[in-house]
Amino acid sequence: MLRPASLKSILRYPVTTAVAASALVVTVSWWSGQDIDWLVTNVRVWEKWEVWRALTSTLPHVNFYHLAFNLYWFWVFGTLVERVYGHLRFAGILALLAMGSSLADFSLSYGGVGLSGVGYGLWGMLWALDRRDTRFAGAVDRETTRIFVAWFFVCIVLTVTEVMPVANVAHGAGAGLGALLGLASSSKGTLRCKSSARLVAALMLALAGSTVLWPWINLSPYAETEIERAGVEALHRKDNEYAKRLLETSARMKEAPARAWHNLGIAYHRLGRYEDALAAYEHAAAMPDSTSEFKETAQQMKEFWTRRKGKR
């Protein structure tokens, strides 16, 4: 592997330096108790299309080892790519890898933090370029590849055994996007066209998966809870129509609790859709996790609706 650039040359790599410094500042601020909710990927990516969170979520890191590992490899790979491609192109590469890996992870999981997806993306890109572009010859040796492949599977084991949750989808998506980007930028003819098309398709799939498809493809219990929470917040703001849309989605998701149907009934009730409200309340009352409050509300709504129909 090529020797990492000296830290004395930070002014020669303004993009790498700025991102690394931002990650350090944001992480320390988070550790000191500052609220960084506005930086991370959460339901607002789907709810409000705040896809910029996919960029900023790469800055905070969970602990010292997470930060040190990511910053080291980001410096090793980033300075090399920035030196060859220039500052603006490198900034674009980082944005692509950050957006793609973060949105892919949020599509299927909770959405993580840190530069891991970008780091795997740069590794995948250099792995492809090492074999096709003489400017990157020796950029990634077998030992480095073993480290990244081994760590990828170790992280999966840590997640499955619940020792430590890791954004494994971001790692895999980042590596795949990086490899496609490396192939697209170093190939010609049919291979270049195919690599570019696959890269665009992967990015579009990540965008769709984290927005319009998110409520239906997300594999974590986080999805239903977050959409329901956003719906309840809309109810508190008296934004009943918007609350209804969110709560309709959450109530129809897998493993939605009785509470979700009860909240949907409240939204319908406020909008004057009494028959729909009764159906939602009764659904909540009939579920295994129903409460006496939900059953009482359903009975009251049934009596109200019966009287209302009788007056017509």
146, 147, 155, 41: which is closest to 98 by C-alpha? 41
Mean per-residue pLDDT, 216-229: 84
CA-CA distance, 282 to 302, in Å (whole number)?
Answer: 9
Mean pLDDT of the chain: 91
The closest of 43, 51, 125, 145 to 84, measured between CA atoms, is 125
Which band of pLDDT confidence, cut at 50, 70 and 90, is reported for residue 35?
Answer: very high
pTM to 2 decimals? 0.85
**Average pLDDT value for residue range 106-115:** 89
CATH of domain 7-217: 1.20.1540.10
pLDDT-based confidence at residue 15 (cuts at 50, 70, 90): very high
What are the start-end ranges of the E strands in the chain?
A: none
- The domain spans of the chain are 7-217, 222-310
> For a pLDDT cut of 70, what percent of the chain falls above it?
98
Confidence band (pLDDT; 50, 70, 90) for 311?
low
> Pick the residue with more confidence: 79 or 1?
79
Region of poorest pLDDT, from 44-48, 53-57, 225-229: 44-48
pLDDT at 253 over 90: no
Is the separation of the CB atoms in 202 and 176 below 8 Å? Answer: yes
Rounded Cα distance, 205 and 306, in Å? 48
Reported as a single tens digit per residue, the pLDDT across 147-199 is 999 999 999 998 888 888 888 999 999 999 999 999 999 888 898 999 999 99
**Residue-level pLDDT at 12:** 94
* pLDDT value at residue 261: 95
CA gap 43, 159 in Å, rounded? 22
Predicted local confidence at residue 286, as pLDDT: 94
Q: How far apart are CA 218 and CA 213, in angstroms?
A: 8
Q: How far apart are CA 105 and CA 149, in angstroms?
A: 18
Give the confidence band of 145 by pLDDT, cuts at 50, 70, 90. very high
- Lowest-pLDDT range, 92-96, 120-124, 211-215? 211-215
Q: Tell me which of 65-69, 201-205, 238-242, 303-307 is least confident.
A: 303-307
Judge whether residue 75 has pLDDT over 90: yes
Q: What percent of the chain has pLDDT over 90?
A: 65
Q: Using the CB atoms, write b or e for 162-183: b if 16+ within 10 Å.
A: eeeebbbbbbbbbbbbbbbbbb
- pLDDT score at 2: 65
291-297: average pLDDT: 93
222-310 — its CATH code? 1.25.40.10
Report residue 308's pLDDT band, with 50, 70 and 90 as the boundaries: confident
- Minimal CA–CA distance to 247: which of 223, 230, 270? 230
How many CB atoms neighbour CB 222 within 10 A? 15
